[in-house]
Structures are given as structure tokens and as C-alpha cells.
Amino acid sequence: MTVTVRAAAKINLRLAVGPPREDGFHPLLTIYQAISLYDDVTVSEADTWSVSVEPMGDLDCSGAPLDESNIALRAGRVLGAHHGVERAAAIHIAKGIPVAGGLAGGSADAAASLVALDRLWDLNTSDEDLLRLAADLGSDVPFALVGGTARGTGRGELVVPIEDPGTWWWVVVPNALGMSTPEVYREYDRLYPDLLSHHHLRVHDMAGVLRSRDFRHLGRNLENDLQPAALSLRPDLEQTDMDLFEARAYRLLSGSGPTYLGLVETQERAHEVREQLLDKGYTGIRVATGPVAGAHVVKYV
């Protein structure tokens, strides 16, 4: 028997970052959105744990770990331990989300692995327990389960869905050289050493912005506190920002980078911008829409 679960990439429409807590994590207030870039995770019974990864299209998956450090495999072990189940599985990831791109592809894989193995082993884990296990695995994993558009607090793991009736079109511009999230946070701390309170951890009325269904209104409210730190480490990304500006897209760095996002009005316009950037030598550019569903079963054989 095999089970395949699809999980989506995430972006942060707004990412507000506070000073480090005692545990080393930064408090966050973010508005997540799941977009239509996907990883498909297929699990099957096996005597020992294994993980394999293959790209969808021309995606470079060379940075994806194939050992015990892979978060999808760790998710399987965590789920088994939660239920006292001593079983193993072969995990195969068909990857459409760029690796180390600030789009939470690893978190999507972990969420998909939890859902797939829960179905494979007929464990009937409660939603509450799945979310708790997800939070233990990583800050973005709970949102990968929930999908849609949601407000995240804590270190991002406390997720509450919010209404989002819009259909938003994104031009997703990856970068061949990935970025380390911890390094970006360290640079953020270096740039803002006097950040003593997190009173600024607030977002605009994003619920109202989203209800407007006006891409210009949303575009003017996109913001990422980590963007200055990422650009400090990677000033070459400023050219991508400029190229999206010249293409008349609203620009946003995705999470800790290096993927850039361009918000435009329609699918047709998104493909026009994609072609403009391809003509400038960019590669691997995707067009995506959001919001889309969280981790869900797509095949059960």
C-alpha cells in the first residue's frame, strides 16, 4: 500500500520579527499564505527508514538531505513514537518547491509525511496532536498542515486561519544559491542590536486588505522584516528586486530568502512578467496562485 500527500509552499505576506527570546527563537507575527508550488510525498511500508527525492521539472534538488536529517523522515519517526508504533517506511519526495529558498519546502514535506503515514498506518491522529507534533518539528510545519491564509504567532507555529476570498497571482523567482535561515536571523540581530521590545510586532489590517481582493492594496501592504538582513548578506538579490520593479510587480522577499516574489493582477500578467525575466537570463521562474489547501491526500493505493 502507498499513500501520496501533496503539500504547498508558503509565503509570508507580512513578517514581523522581534528580539530573541530566552530560548534563542525570535517572536514572530506573520501572515502566511499557501501558494500553488507543491511537493508530493509518497510513503510505503518498508523494513527500514529511507528517503529519496526527485525534481519536478528543472528544479535543482541537490541540496535536499537523503539521510536521517531529512525532516520528512524525522516526522515519520516522531509520529511513530507518539503512538508507540515501531514501524518504518520508504519516503519518496517529488519536489516542486525550491530547496533552501525561503518557501518552507522542508516543512511542507514534514507535514505531508505526517498525514501520509497517519493514513498508511491507520493511526487516526487527532488534528490537535498532529499540530503539536508539527510544531515540535519546525516553526512552519503547522501552517503546512493548515494551508490557506493564516496568522502565525509565537515562533510562527501558533496558527489561526483567516478569511481570504481573493485569488492572488505570484511570479516566483528562485535563486540557485540558497540561504541559511539561522544566518539571516543572526544578521538581523547584528543590524538591529538595540531592538529591546517587540511592540512593533503588529500587522496592518491584513484581514481587511485580503477581503478587498485588490492586488494593489495587498501589494502596498507586503512587508518582510528579514529582507534588509537577507539583502545585507546577498546584495546581488537587489538586482532581482529592481527587475521585478521594472516589470511593474509588487516585490517581496520570501521568508529568509533568497526567493523573490512578484505580485501582479492576473494570471496572464504573471506569465508576461515571467517571460520578461526569462529574457533577462533568469531560470526556474514559476507562476503560482494562492491561497491553496494545506497537506492533503491525493493518491491512496
Would you list the domain boundaries of the chain?
Answer: 1-301
Whole-number average pLDDT of the chain = 94
Topology (CATH) of 1-301: Ribosomal Protein S5; domain 2 (3.30.230)
Residue 187 predicted with pLDDT over 60: yes
Cβ proximity of 102 and 139 under 8 Å? no
Residue 273 clears pLDDT 60, i.e. is over it? yes
pLDDT on residue 198 = 47
Tens digit of each residue's pLDDT (9 = 90 or more) over 26-46: 889 999 999 999 999 999 999
- What's the 3-state SS for the chain? CEEEEEEEEEEEEEEEECCCCCCCCCCEEEEEEEEEEEEEEEEEEECCCEEEEEECCCCCCCCCCCCCCCHHHHHHHHHHHHHCCCCEEEEEEEECCCCCCCCCHHHHHHHHHHHHHHHHCCCCCCHHHHHHHHHHHCCCHHHHHHECEEEEECCCCEEEECCCCCCEEEEEECCCCCCCHHHHHHHHHHHCCCCCCCCCCCCCCHHHHHHHCCHHHHHHCCEECCHHHHHHHCCCHHHHHHHHHHCCCEEEECCCCCCEEEEECCHHHHHHHHHHHHHCCCCCCEEEEECCECCEEEEEC
Which residues are CB-contacts of 289 (< 8 A; sequence separation ≥ 6)?
Answer: 35, 36, 167, 168, 169, 170, 267
Catalytic residue among 39, 40, 109, 140: 140
How far apart (Å, rounded) are the C-alpha atoms in residues 28 and 91?
A: 31
pTM value > 0.85: yes
Contact 288, 9 (CB under 8 A): yes
CA distance 293 to 244: 27
Lay out the sheet containing 168-173: strands in order across: 250-253, 260-264, 168-173, 286-290
Q: Is 140 annotated as catalytic?
A: yes
Query: Region 64-74: what's the mean pLDDT?
Result: 94
95 catalytic? Reply is: no
pLDDT, one tens digit per residue, over 112-169 is 999 999 999 999 999 999 999 999 999 999 999 999 999 999 999 999 999 999 999 9
* pLDDT range class, residue 99, cuts 50, 70, 90: confident
Distances (CA, A) of 188 to 11, 60, 204: 19, 28, 22
Could you report the per-residue pLDDT of 222-231, keeping only the tens digit for each?
A: 999 999 999 9
pLDDT digit string, tens, across residues 164-184: 999 999 999 999 898 999 999
**pLDDT over 70 percentage in the chain:** 97
